[in-house]
Each structure stands twice: as C-alpha cells, then as structure tokens.
Amino acid sequence: MPRDPARRDATARSSLAADNRSATSARIPKGIANRLLVRSMLYAQGPASRIELGKRSGLPLSTLTTVGSALLRQGVVREAGEAKPSGRGRGRRRSLLEIDRAGLGALSMSYARGTITATICDILGTIRWTKSWPLAGRAGAQAERALVESALTALADSPIPRTRLLGIGVADPGLIDRRTGRSIRAVEPTGFENVPVVSILAEATRMPVFIERADGLEALGEAMFGAGIGARGVLFVSAVANGIGGGLVQSGEVVAGRDGAAGEIGHVHVGGDLLCGCGLHGCFEAHASPRRLLERYRAAGGGRVSDLGGLAREAAAGDVHARSCHHDGAEIIARVLGGAINLLNPDCVVLGGQFADAGPQLIGRLQVHLERYALPEMVRGLSLRSATLGDRAVAAG
C-alpha cells in the first residue's frame, strides 16, 4: 500500500471502482467477490464483527481481516464500536463493522412525463442532487444518446465522488427484462422497444447498471423510506393521468416475477369492453385511471377539476356528480385490491400518485368496499396508507 496519503486515497478509490464494475461481471476475481459478499451482508444484516461475518459466510478470519481492512480503506465501511463479549463477559472485545451509508450513493435515471431525470441519492434515501432534461421530440437512438449524456453529466456534477457511487439504477416506465437488461416496451420515449439500456449505460459509464420498473422502484422507496416503513409486505398501487401501476415489496426486496415485469396491476381485467392503451379490453386502467374518471365526471355535467384530489374535494363538498364518480371509482379500485390482498396477504397497501392525492376520502370508501372483495381475515390488521414521498420515491428506491 502506498505511504503517501494522496496516493493511498487514489489507490483505495481505484479499488472501490474496480469492485463496483465487477459486480455485474460474469466472472468475478476471488478477492473482489469476498468484498462484495461482506458488503452485501453488512448492508442487509447490519453491523457485525469479523468473527460473526466468518460464521455467516464461511470465510476464514484471516480472509475477513484482509477484506475488512480493504473496505475500511475504500470508505465503504466504518468501525461501529465494539460487540459485548459472549458468555460471562470474558475475552477480547470485538470491533464491529458497518456500512458507511451517508458516504455512499447511487445514480437514479428515469424517463417519463416528457423528461429525463437524473438523481444522486445516498443510501439513506436522501436526495443529494437532481436535474431534468426535456425528452420531447427525441425517439429511438436520439433518446438513447440523451440518456447517456444525462448520466455522464450527473456523474460529473455529483456531490458524492464517482468512486463512492455503487451503481446506476434505471427506472423504466413500461415492461422490462431484468435478465437481459432491456426495456421491452416503454410508455415513452417513442420507439423505445427492446432497447439494451443496461449495456448502453454500462459501456458509457463503466459502472454497474440495473433496470427496474419505475413502479417497482417507487414501491421500494415508499416501503423503505416512506409510508411503508415498518411493514414486511407492501402492496403499492399508483395512478398517473392515464395509467395505473403497482409493485410489491417483500422484506425489503421488489417482487419482480420471471422477467422483472411483475406488478402490472393496471391491466387486471375488471369486465366490460373498454379499450385500454395496452391494446386489451376491460383493464382496470381503462375503467379507473384519473383521465377516465374525470371524463365521466365532466360527461355527467360536473365542473372543471384537473385531478382526483379535486374530484374528492368536490365529492366531500356535496357535488352529486363528483360523489357518484368518486364512489364508483373506489368500488372498482377495491375490487382489484381485494383480489390482490387475497392473493398476496400484504401488511399494508400504499396508494400513490393521484390515488394519494384523493387522500382520506378515497381510503374511507375503500375500507367500506373491501369488505365485499377481500376475506375478513385478510383485511383484519391491514393498513391502508397514502404515499408520502411523491416524486422522490423512485430515486429513493
């Protein structure tokens, strides 16, 4: 190890960067694999001594001493006091290692609602930097180039040194394939189909990259840092102007399904023949998206409201048309939630987007209707909550 402090710090940063790049490689050198293993154990299970890590991992103490020293130099972990001696209090006290969460972060990239957004977030869930660029008019290869340029700008401007960023998470507004790292069919940008997003960004940035459904990351953000804190199983359902999405988080992990596409609750069939944007008929989204409910309200003679929050306020104020649309919408939502609750048995349901904007009025109606669609044993103890993180949830996830 170099004696000069500047050279020593540079060597440690280079070592951390090599570890991060190797995390997505097919073949990982043994030393790096050991460091990645200890990192993941400390992140998932909390502070531990080297001896405890040895018992859990099967690695010898000599290896863990080397691994611990390397992670301390990299700044990934820090000393966290001492563990109490076992037995009758005799023996040498063991120093604990823990992840230095405030000093590490990741880059979140998303493309939706006409913009590309890059966000630097530490692993405590705090947003440290964010910037958006217009996406309108960019399709196909142009959109791919814009995504790369935005990521490179974010890495250059990041308040967390690039070598302390653990990777890049891509939030895709559509169907993905986790195994191949592809955006299969994104809502936007136009022409974003079967795009190898992970390999494109990994090649440009030389960093580990993963892709997840935006709704899944939003669910994870709410589960870990928002309305779902303390719940083991969180069912998340969110509404934007013309769509409904969802995600399931179990024990701190997104339930992804075979390819990573699980959670498309908006395309559960609820009856009827209304055409959905996906090409199917009778989807939950086609019947209960904000756009559809507001269209029904205006067609019935209602006033000008722009979102479900406004519709809920009009209903609470006594507008009969708003009340009818609000109650009918809540009944459809409860029908779908009831089936999901019976199937998944979550601890809580978190409502996001415009469903959250509708607030207590919507939750109150759902509690009434769920008695018809979910088993009483499933509803008993279930918590219905409004999301709290808003636009920050995706980056936090």
Range of lowest pLDDT (23-37, 47-61, 286-300, 370-384)? 23-37
pLDDT digits (tens, 9 = 90+) for 214-264: 999 999 999 999 999 999 999 999 999 889 999 999 999 999 898 888 999
Name the band, by pLDDT with cuts 50, 70 and 90, for residue 47: very high
Q: With 60 as the cut, is the pLDDT of residue 97 above it? A: yes
Region 72-88: what's the mean pLDDT? Answer: 77
Q: Which long-range contacts (CB under 8 A, 24 or more apart) does 143-148 make?
A: 143/111, 143/189, 143/190, 143/191, 143/192, 144/195, 144/200, 146/116, 147/109, 147/111, 147/116, 147/197, 147/200, 147/201, 148/200, 148/201, 148/204, 148/205
The pLDDT tens digits for 2-36 are: 455 445 555 555 666 667 666 655 567 888 888 88
CA atoms of 365 and 367, how far apart (whole Å): 5
Average pLDDT rounded to a whole number, residues 92-111 = 87
Is domain 105-207 classified as CATH 3.30.420.40?
yes
Q: In degrees rounded to 5, what are phi and psi of residue 11?
A: -65, -40
| Confidence check: pLDDT of 150 > 70 | yes
d(CA 322, CA 63): 66
Is residue 252 packed enough to be buried (19+ CB in 10 Å), middle (13-18) or exposed (0-12)?
exposed
Question: Which pLDDT does position 1 carry in this prediction?
Answer: 45
Question: So where are the chain's domains?
Answer: 5-99, 105-207, 218-396
List phi, psi (to 5°) of 202.
-65, -40
Q: Is the pLDDT of residue 102 over 50?
A: yes
The pLDDT mean for the chain works out to: 89
Claim: this prediction has a pTM higher than 0.85 = no
pLDDT at 11: 59
pLDDT at 36: 86
Equal fold, 5-99 vs 105-207: no
Residues 170-215: tens digit of each pLDDT: 999 999 999 999 999 888 887 788 999 999 999 999 999 999 999 9
Task: Assess contact for 280 and 342: CB atoms under 8 A.
Answer: no
Span 332-349, pLDDT tens digits: 999 999 999 999 999 999
Q: What is the pLDDT of residue 187?
A: 83
* % the chain with pLDDT above 90: 68
Q: What does the pLDDT read at residue 207?
A: 92
What lies within 8 Å, CB to CB, of 13 at 6+ separation is: 74, 161, 163, 164
**Fold topology of 218-396:** Nucleotidyltransferase; domain 5 (3.30.420)
CATH class of the domain whose range is 5-99 = mainly alpha
* Confidence at residue 232, expressed as pLDDT on a 0 to 100 scale: 94
The reported pLDDT for the residue numbered 336 is 97
Question: β-pairing, 348-352 with 383-386?
Answer: parallel
